[in-house]
Amino acid sequence: MTPSAGRFITFEGGEGVGKTTNIQFLADWLRQHGHEVVTTREPGGTEIAELIRDQLLKAHHDEPMDDLAELLLMFAARAQHLQGLIKPALAAGKWVLCDRFSDSTLAYQGYGRGVDLSMIEQLKRLVQGSLEPDLTLWLKAPLAVGRARASGRAEVTDRFEAEQDAFFQRVEQGFEALAREHARIVAIDANQALPGVQQAIVQAIKTLEPSL
Ligand SMILES: Nc1ncnc2c1ncn2[C@@H]1O[C@H](COP(=O)(O)OP(=O)(O)O)[C@@H](O)[C@H]1O
Ligand SMILES: [Mg+2]
């Protein structure tokens, strides 16, 4: 049997909505259905990209991080991740499930920080070329729900989680706008119990890949 082509699925959404939880669920589900799966995350995913991640998420530096520097570091990590992990895995016929990708850059650095969107799009083209996710699962839940869930986690608060509500409201408006713009982005109601979220995710995957 010839292996089916690799698929690139990204998970997007605010803090604590369930991206990491559901990426693991989908990876298990796809493996049970006979697919090879790689799970990864952004920023990060390879040794060098993870080093960049550490600096991007570190809660405190003695100087403020410049918005443009932040944006370029995101894309530097992404370039490394694409060459070192995502493209080779897709070429080998694997499903790549990625926790955040360029939509987060547009939502956080663009809508959140106010960096010019067309400049981000230019950098995106430079780094990704024509590569886009086959499907983006946007986990959507009210800010307060994500906040409450995230506060239950053991992880320390990172530089983005420390932002104010107004920032996260702009980020959410960013995801809304992106979802209107791109058919590959499917909104998943994450403001419900986990089995319902997972059912919606499986439904979206079956729409992408009717043989599943
Ligand atoms: N639908 C859900 N209902 C209740 N709790 C959830 C749900 N989805 C995720 N959680 C819990 O919320 C917390 C944050 O989830 P996580 O997957 O880490 O979110 P993210 O990666 O999007 O920040 C975890 O403790 C997780 O178990
Ligand atoms: Mg997470």
Q: At which residue do the structure tokens 């239950």 appear?
A: 152
30 CB near ligand 1 (under 6 Å): no
Ligand 1 centroid, distance to 55 Cα (angstroms): 24
Task: For 89-107, write each residue's pLDDT tens digit.
Answer: 999 999 999 999 999 999 9
Task: For 93-147, write each residue's pLDDT tens digit.
Answer: 999 999 999 999 999 999 999 999 999 999 999 999 999 999 999 999 999 999 9
Domain boundaries, the chain: 8-208
The phi and psi torsions of 140 (rounded to 5 degrees) equal -115, 125
CA distance 71 to 156: 22
Task: For 21-38, write each residue's pLDDT tens digit.
Answer: 999 999 999 999 999 999
With 60 as the cut, is the pLDDT of residue 2 above it? no
The pTM assigned to this predicted structure is: 0.96
193 CB near ligand 1 (under 6 Å): yes
Mean pLDDT over residues 191-212, rounded? Answer: 97
Rounded to the nearest 10°, the torsion over CA 44, 47, 53, 58 is 140
Residue whose Cα lies nearest atom 1 of ligand 1: it is: 194
What residues have their beta carbon closer than 5 A to ion ligand 2? Answer: 19-20
Superfamily for 8-208?
P-loop containing nucleotide triphosphate hydrolases (3.40.50.300)
Instruction: Let me know: does 9 contact 94? Beta carbons within 8 Å.
Output: no
Ligand 1 centroid, distance to 45 Cα (angstroms): 21
Site to probe by mutation for ligand 1, drawn from 149, 188, 198 as the one with most ligand atoms within 8 Å of Cβ, is 149
CA distance 148 to 130: 37
149 CB near ligand 1 (under 6 Å): yes
pLDDT band at 170 (very low <50, low <70, confident <90, very high): very high
Task: For 44-72, write each residue's pLDDT tens digit.
Answer: 999 999 999 999 999 989 999 999 999 99
189 Cβ neighbours under 8 A, 6+ residues apart? 140, 141, 196, 197, 200
70 CB near ligand 1 (under 6 Å): no
Average per-residue pLDDT for the chain? 95
The pLDDT > 90 percentage for the chain reads: 91
pLDDT band at 152 (very low <50, low <70, confident <90, very high): confident
- Amino acid, res. 177: A
Taking only Cα atoms into account, the Rg of the chain, rounded to an integer number of angstroms, comes to: 17
pLDDT for position 4? 57
191 CB near ligand 1 (under 6 Å): no
Residue whose Cα lies nearest atom 9 of ligand 1: it is: 18
